[in-house]
Chains A and B, each alone.
Chain A
Amino acid sequence: ELKVEQNPLFLSMQEGKNYTIYCNYSTTSDRLYWYRQDPGKSLESLFVLLSNGAVKQEGRLMASLDTKARLSTLHITAAVHDLSATYFCAVDNSRSQGNLIFGKGTKLSVKP
């Protein structure tokens, strides 16, 4: 059974600092997705990572994928308050028709 673990689950940061969220998964998969969710809202797609070594950047966020280590990272550079949200990684369950297995999410709070 495919399992996805994120850490940390809670992260309190000061504005201007850097930090990394980790996403480990238990079986082979070559597609990984990062989503952002604001309280009471739906999920906003951030990154789609499709191959080993993939790196994507958007603003202060950068995501990478190492399929051999079964690890993805979401790096936050010089955090600002607007980045406060819950971040989910999701792994494509290749054994099925492509449903996603989500981690529990990392709740990020950026404080002045």
Chain B
Amino acid sequence: DTGVSQNPRHKITKRGQNVTFRCDPISEHNRLYWYRQTLGQGPEFLTYFQNEAQLEKSRLLSDRFSAERPKGSFSTLEIQRTEQGDSAMYLCASSRDRNYGYTFGSGTRLTVV
């Protein structure tokens, strides 16, 4: 069990560029979540996968955001035409079962300049 892995750790991009983040969950966890955290706030839910199916999306997930989990293993989160308001820490979490809790990755810190 190597934990939830996220890459890259940091990303600085110019406004208007596209960015993609990757999350590798714990191998036996079939549930995968993306959250966004801004400074001084708690994480906010973005989207949820069970295996390869994206079962839920938050209203926060505008049409510039897309997430995939093609084979039910790793997941990617893409942000198109980035805006300064997208600057945040993007956290991935995985879970085997809600009763066992959720394991969070170290996050990808995005800065849009």
Chain A residues at the B interface, C-beta cutoff of 8 Å:
4, 31, 33, 35, 41-45, 48, 50, 88, 90, 92-93, 96-105
Q: B56 touching A97 by the CB < 8 A rule?
A: yes
Contact string against A for B residues 53-75, beta-carbon threshold 8 Å, 1 for contact and 0 otherwise: 00110100000000000000000
Q: A42 touching B45 by the CB < 8 A rule?
A: no
A residues less than 8 Å from B99 (CB atoms): 31, 48, 50
With A31-B99, A42-B105, A42-B107 in contact, do A102 and B43 touch (Cβ < 8 Å)?
yes
| Docked complex Cα distance between A51 and B102 (Å) | 17
Contact string against A for B residues 2-25, beta-carbon threshold 8 Å, 1 for contact and 0 otherwise: 000000000000000000000000
Give how many B residues have a beta carbon under 8 Å from the other chain's beta carbons.
26
Output the least CB separation between A98 and chain B (Å): 5
Q: Which of B40, B48, B100, B104 contacts A43 (CB 8 A)?
A: B104
Output the least CB separation between B111 and chain A (Å): 13
A residues less than 8 Å from B104 (CB atoms): 35, 42-45
With A31-B99, A33-B102, A41-B106 in contact, do A97 and B55 touch (Cβ < 8 Å)?
yes
